[in-house]
């Protein structure tokens, strides 16, 4: 299905060149983690990745002054966003709204892996636990 959501003639490129940054080392250890600030790519979002092989394990409770979008790319996760619990599986996308404390854990069995999009050119976080 072809898409034509806008007229390309109405957009003027801003002159930024393509950019490349390393998010993670695929040969790295068991917990595949990494981040690239949007500033490094001259872009508006920061990308993180988090993964683990241990059910019940995950990042501590924290909060950001901007939205965070989580993409579950492997396994099963339980997200705690404010007072709400959301169970998600590979292929699901979860929103953590700005100012709402959140965390997530691996539900198992096996590996849980996420790509996390911080809607900010820099990673800004306050840990609450």
C-alpha–C-alpha distance, residues 129 and 35, integer Å: 21
> What pLDDT, in 10s, does the model give residues 65-104?
999 999 999 999 999 999 999 999 999 999 999 999 999 9
Is the Cα dihedral 72, 75, 81, 83 positive or negative?
A: positive
pLDDT at 30: 60
User: Is the pTM value of this prediction over 0.85?
Assistant: yes
Residue 108 confidence (pLDDT) above 70: yes
Q: Which residue segments constitute the domains of the chain, with CATH numbers given? A: 28-77+89-127 (2.60.120.10)
> What pLDDT, in 10s, does the model give residues 19-74?
999 998 877 766 678 999 999 999 999 999 999 999 999 999 999 999 999 999 99
C-alpha–C-alpha distance, residues 74 and 123, integer Å: 23
pLDDT at 1: 86
**Coil, helix or strand at residue 68:** strand
Q: Count the neighbouring beta carbons within 10 Å of the beta carbon of residue 38.
A: 20
Instruction: Note the Cα 11 to chain centre separation in Å.
Output: 28
């Amino acid at each position: 299905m072809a898409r034509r959501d806008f007229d390309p003639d109405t957009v003027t490129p801003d002159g930024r060149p393509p950019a490349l940054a390393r998010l993670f080392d695929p040969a790295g250890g068991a917990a595949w983690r990494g981040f690239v600030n949007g500033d490094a790519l001259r872009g508006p979002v920061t990308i993180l990745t988090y993964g683990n092989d241990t059910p019940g394990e995950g990042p501590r409770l924290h909060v950001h002054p901007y939205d965070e979008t989580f993409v579950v790319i492997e396994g099963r996760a339980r997200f705690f966003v404010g007072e709400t619990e959301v169970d998600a599986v590979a292929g699901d996308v979860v929103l953590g709204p700005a100012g709402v404390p959140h965390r997530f854990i691996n539900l198992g069995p096996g590996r849980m892996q996420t790509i996390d999009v911080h809607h900010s050119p820099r990673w800004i976080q306050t840990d609450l636990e």
